[in-house]
């Protein structure tokens, strides 16, 4: 594949996932990822700061999440604003054509503690972004934090369900149902 072809970032992600599946995360180098993608090491580092980040999409999810909360109709409850953001993510990022990739990515992350740690840190960052976005809507701090934490839990559970390749549900609808389940379960505690 020629270096000038578009979608270098997507090619690097695909190559990394393949190599991590074949050889394991620890046994794969940035140079091997770049070569598999038909690119150079310097191109890799123009798109990603390190090998861990290649499977985490930069700030794309954060932007979608914050914009989704901001775009929720005025006056809705905080969890409804979070549900609106999760539906946006479903439309923009967790599309049916990404389901198989997501399942494969989850398997690679599950096999590597360093990647699981990075996933957890990304999750904390997304939760903090939800809190900030809700507070900008005028939601009091504690309420924003609780709504964001419940939203993060619902997102995680919905993502696990959605990335199961036997599941045909739309992510946004699945996330909304899961958020309702999480909210009901929290009322029982």
Torsion of CA 71, 175, 110, 61, to 10 degrees: -10
| Residues 161 and 79 reside in one and the same domain | yes
**If pLDDT is split at 50, 70 and 90, which confidence band does 6 have?**
confident
Contact 78, 147 (CB under 8 A): yes
| 3 lies in some domain | no
Range of the domain at 62: 57-188
Q: What is the pLDDT of residue 187?
A: 87
For residues 79 and 12, state if they share a domain: no
Residue 54 CA to residue 71 CA, distance in Å, equals 29
Lowest mean pLDDT among 21-35, 69-83, 130-144, 159-173: 159-173
Residue 47 lies in a domain: yes
Give the mean pLDDT of 121-131: 96
Instruction: Note whether 70 and 40 are same-domain residues.
Output: no
Q: Is the pLDDT of residue 57 over 90?
A: no
Q: What is the CATH number of the domain that holds 19?
A: 1.10.10.60
Give domain status of residue 2, yes or no: no
User: Both 73 and 148 in a single domain?
Assistant: yes
Confidence of residue 5 (pLDDT cuts 50, 70, 90): low
Which residue in this structure is represented by tokens 């946006």? 88
Q: How many domains does the chain have?
A: 2
122-134 per-residue burial string, b: 16 or more CB within 10 A, e: under 16: beeebbebbbebb
Whether residues 49 and 128 share a domain: the answer is no
For 20-37, what is each residue's pLDDT tens digit?
999 999 999 999 999 999
DSSP reduced 3-state for 188:
helix
Which of the listed residues 21, 39, 54 is the one where a domain comes to its end? 54
What is the CATH number for 123?
1.10.357.10
- Is the pLDDT confidence value at 1 over 50? no
Chain CA centroid to CA 78, Å: 21
pLDDT at 167 over 90: no
Predicted confidence (pLDDT) per residue in 93-107, tens digit: 999 899 999 999 999
Structure tokens at 144: 């924003």
């Amino acid at each position: 594949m020629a270096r000038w072809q578009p979608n270098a970032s997507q090619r690097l992600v695909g190559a990394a996932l393949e190599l991590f599946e074949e050889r394991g995360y620890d046994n794969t180098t940035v140079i091997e990822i770049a070569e598999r993608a038909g690119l150079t090491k310097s191109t890799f580092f123009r798109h990603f700061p390190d090998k861990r980040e290649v499977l985490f999409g930069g700030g794309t999810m954060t932007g979608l999440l914050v914009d989704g909360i901001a775009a929720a109709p005025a006056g809705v409850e905080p969890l409804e604003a979070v549900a609106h953001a999760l539906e946006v993510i479903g439309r923009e990022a967790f599309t049916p054509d990404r389901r198989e990739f997501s399942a494969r990515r989850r398997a690679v992350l599950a096999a590597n503690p360093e990647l699981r740690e990075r996933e957890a840190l990304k999750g904390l960052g997304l939760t903090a972004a939800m809190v900030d976005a809700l507070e900008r809507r005028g939601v009091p701090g504690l309420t924003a934090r609780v709504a964001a934490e419940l939203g993060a839990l619902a997102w995680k559970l919905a993502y696990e369900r959605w990335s199961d390749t036997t599941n045909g549900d739309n992510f946004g609808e699945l996330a909304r149902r899961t958020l309702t389940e999480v909210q009901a379960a929290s009322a029982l505690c």
